[in-house]
Every structure is written in structure tokens, then in C-alpha cells.
A = this chain, B = another copy of it.
Amino acid sequence: MATHTEFQEALLHKLSDSGLRSTPQREVVFKVMLQKRDHPTADEVFARVKSAMPSISLATVYNCLDTLVSCGLIRQVNFERGPTRYCPNLHPHAHFHDLQTGSTHDIDLPPGLIDQVKTILPEGYDASSVEIIFRGKTSFAAASAILPATGQN
């Protein structure tokens, strides 16, 4: 059996690439982010992490999330001025914000779409990133009535 899990390897690698240390707090925050494919706020991450590490502070959760974002291990998403949400899905994707439930869904981007969208930019605009946000309603409420109700995701 391995002494390091795959996720710990990835974490360690990305962190040391940036000259940063792997700490128990960073590990548990990252683990929590990978455990559920949703879009928690810092407060929600804090709540989840506390069961594994009751002594962690909210400031550290913010610090760890910032660190993971700057290492490219997770992404950050914002809707209007709501609290920042964190996303563990590193594949190129858009976000669908369900206005009725408040939940957020990942929408896979077909390869080439981003480049295609970039072609609308006039001369002189050099986009390093393109973000696409959909807002609306979904019509598969049945699923969420059967699955455990978990609030916003």
C-alpha cells in the first residue's frame, strides 16, 4: 500500500512548485473540496472541515482556499455579489446558476467553443480567460427530491 494517496501527491507537487509547504490544514481543506462535487462557500468548507479538524480557524480556511486557487488545484466562482464559491472541477466548464434553488451546476464545454467565442473579440483584445455563466431554471426537480437535500451546490 502507498504511503501517499494520489490526491496528496498532486497537492504536494503543486504546492512545492509554488514554493509552498504541504500542511495538515491545506490537506484537509483540499480533501474536503474533493469529497463532494459542489460549489461550497468558505463558510461551508469551514463547517465540513471542522469535523475532521475542530481546531482549524476560518482565517486558515480562507488562506488554504486562496492557496489552492493560486496553485490551480481548485477554482473560484462568483455570482453577483454573493459569497465566493469554490469549485474542484478543473475541466473547462461553464456554470449554470439555478435561480429557483440557488444551486450551481457544471456545464462541460465542448472543445473549441472557447476559441470560437474568442473570435468575436476585435483587434487588440487578448483574452487570457473566458467565463460563461448561464442563469435560469432546471426541469429535473425529481432527482433532487430523491437524492439527499444538501442545500446550495
Does more than half of chain A's interface fall in helix, strand or loop, or is it mixed?
strand
A124 at interface (Cβ–Cβ under 8 A)?
yes
Asked if residues A121 and B134 are in contact (CB atoms below 8 Å), the reply is yes
Minimal beta-carbon separation of A106 from chain B (angstroms): 11
Chain copies in complex:
2
| B interface footprint on A127-142 (CB within 8 Å = 1, 0 otherwise) | 1111111111111100
A2 at interface (Cβ–Cβ under 8 A)?
no
Asked if residues A136 and B128 are in contact (CB atoms below 8 Å), the reply is yes
- Residues of B near A125 (CB, < 8 A) are 96, 105, 107, 134, 136, 138
Asked if residues B131 and A132 are in contact (CB atoms below 8 Å), the reply is yes
Choice from B128, B131, B139 contacting A137 with Cβ under 8 Å: B128
- Residues of B near A91 (CB, < 8 A) are none
Asked if residues B130 and A120 are in contact (CB atoms below 8 Å), the reply is no
- Assembly CA distance A78 to B124 (angstroms): 23
Asked if residues A135 and B126 are in contact (CB atoms below 8 Å), the reply is no
A81 at interface (Cβ–Cβ under 8 A)?
yes
* 8 contacting pairs across A/B (C-beta < 8 A): A96-B121, A96-B127, A99-B128, A107-B120, A107-B122, A108-B120, A125-B134, A130-B133
Apart from A76-B80, A126-B139: 15 A-B pairs, beta carbons within 8 A: A78-B81, A80-B84, A81-B84, A113-B120, A117-B117, A124-B138, A124-B139, A125-B138, A126-B136, A127-B136, A128-B135, A129-B134, A130-B132, A131-B134, A133-B133
